[in-house]
Structure 1
């Protein structure tokens, strides 16, 4: 039979536990990354490269006001995808991007992972099956002949008459000798973009399409070519799946907001910021979301 003293102790312990648990999304990104759970997850994936990667994530966050408005947990989950593929997230490098999108139904911004065309090339080269792989813009005056059936392509890269981009060309050659060439006109790329645009205004440019149209166009051509004719490793299949899944998940028709993840932190009277709680992880671990 429980005594009054026992009940008081249980109530006190429950209140203490509740005080130590805060919503992950209520923490700033820096505080979130400093939690033992997050550090452990990134260490498991990146080992010695984890501190450098997490520092680059903070640099990206601090330099992008639009990203700062996104849910911290969505930023971390997007970064974890890039980490699992061992790709840098510096947007100037073009391997992978963490892009904020506004979710109208949820009323806030959420970040999503997007793979760049250089990321696709990097993952392809890691398979050891590609002897050569590339994708380029084709400018006005450079295209001499293109046969869609035989895939005979004739370019004169010295014949550029203007900087206007009229199309995009992708090419790869496998170590076994098989090769593939594809050419998309800019109109074909634009039609593909509009078809898959999740915005209400289908013709509107958003995010990377707005800031670097050619990079996204080359990615589209490369991904389509590799998906149809390339050799895809498990890592490449995962990358393509993540790239496509994230884009589909964040739309104006998003489902109800997920319950906030909980993470253990500890407060002190002298420190307004949450401090790391040693050797304890909440049963409602913030990383339960699907990083494993």
Structure 2
């Protein structure tokens, strides 16, 4: 009888029962304090209105929501701080076959990254925006300076930029063309891992048309994703990163592959050096004679300066 009742239980009721579990409730309380009830109410509202989320495991949805809660980023789609996007991930079955499983995934929005940067108290200025045709005048690759003081010719978006200045005076700008952004999205986004992914030209055309759909992500709102990506790439490389910001970047699956590839690129030419194989110069302090040999096995730490 209890099984029949469970089968008839609505998805939203299952979600509510999971949230009400003492262990889950405690985690929301620890993360949000007195704002817990407001966040939970917005999560339930999001779940009720997002039919795709209802196809996912309810517990997984709650766990992804906890990721947003620990960063204190609201899940209200209208605000644009954070989202839970459903990806159809391929999962291997016990019999060896593969099937698509709807998987809820926490994704920070561009406003979320700006919010986290502001909380550090280290940024004097941070700005990100679209670049329209005619506005880009000069790119100085050596100095890392970009000039956007050209005359705007149309509402056609040609790229995205982010600029920040820290309190200590350090500043940096990053510009990414719309063509580079489309190639980036197709390469790294989990949304485009299937066979029916759009062409770069189709993504660019949608972005420049200004069309925004109810779908979240590159296909739903390419331009917002472009802003988020340029912000993330600039801050992750040159910005002041708090623990919260690092956590958000680690959880951002839209850029997980890019982070991995950038790490490989930066260290791909590194060479491992075995200390024992390196020749060591012995200097006779009396005669000044230099001879080659092996490094000493142990260092006299007593003689080392105490810093």
Q: TM-score, length-normalised on structure 1?
A: 0.71
Q: Structure 2: any 5+ residue segments left out of the alignment?
A: 1-5, 92-98, 204-214, 258-307
2:91 is equivalent to residue 109 of structure 1: no
Shift of 1:90: 0.8
Q: Using the alignment, how far apart are the partners of 1:90 and 1:26 within structure 2? A: 17
Residues 67, 100 of structure 1: 8 Å contact kept: yes
Deviation at 1:132, TM superposition (A): 0.5
Q: CA deviation at 1:96?
A: 0.7
Match of 1:224 among 216, 233, 256: 233
Q: How far apart are the structure 1 equivalents of 2:12 and 2:100?
A: 16
Q: Distance in 1 between matches of 2:236 and 2:90?
A: 32
Confirm whether residue 153 of structure 1 aligns to residue 146 of structure 2.
yes
- What residue number does 1:48 align with? 34
Q: How does 1:133-152 map to 2 (within 5 A)?
A: 133-152=126-145
Which structure is larger by alpha-carbon Rg, 1 or 2?
2
Please give the root-mean-square deviation of Cα atoms over the aligned residues, in Å. Answer: 2.7
Structure 1: tracts of 5 or more residues without a match = 1-20, 249-292
Given that 2:84 and 2:105 are in contact with CA atoms closer than 8 Å, whether structure 1 keeps it comes out as yes
Q: Is the 8 A contact 2:250 2:256 kept in 1?
A: no
Give the 4+ runs in structure 1 shifted more than 3 A: 201-207, 244-248
Identify which of 193, 217, 234 aligns with 1:208.
Answer: 217
Contact kept in structure 2, 1:99 and 1:207, CA below 8 Å: yes
Give me the whole-angstrom Cα distance separating, in 1, the residues matched to 2:218 and 2:252.
15
Aligned residues of 2:18 and 2:24 also touching (Cα < 8 A)? yes
Tell me the distance in 1 between the aligned counterparts of 2:245 and 2:36: 22
Whether the 8 Å CA contact 1:112–1:246 is kept in 2: the answer is: no
Offset from partner CA, 1:199-222 (integer Å, 9 cap, x none): 133843784111111111111111
CA distance in 2, matches of 1:26, 1:190: 36
Q: Answer yes or no: is 1:35 the counterpart of 2:21.
A: yes
Stretch moving more, 170-179 or 218-227: 218-227
**Partner Cα distance (1:246, 1:77) in 2:** 20
Q: Does 1:125 align with 2:114?
A: no
Give the whole-Å Cα distance in 2 for the aligned partners of 1:246 and 1:130: 23
Aligned pairs for 1:1-292 (under 5 A) are 28-105=14-91, 107-156=100-149, 159-198=151-190, 199-201=193-195, 203-204=197-198, 207-244=216-253
Give aligned pairs, total: 227
Question: Secondary structure, in 3 states, of the residue corresponding to 2:104?
Answer: strand
- 169-178 or 132-141, which moves further after superposition? 132-141
CA distance in 1, matches of 2:173, 2:153: 23
Instruction: Give me the whole-angstrom Cα distance separating, in 1, the residues matched to 2:249 and 2:255.
Output: 10
Deviation, 1:47, is 1.4
Question: Following TM superposition, by how much is the alpha carbon of 1:45 offset from its aligned partner in structure 2, in angstroms?
Answer: 1.6
Aligned to 2:288: none
Instruction: State the TM-score, normalized to the length of structure 2.
Output: 0.67
Offset of 1:118 from its aligned partner? 0.9
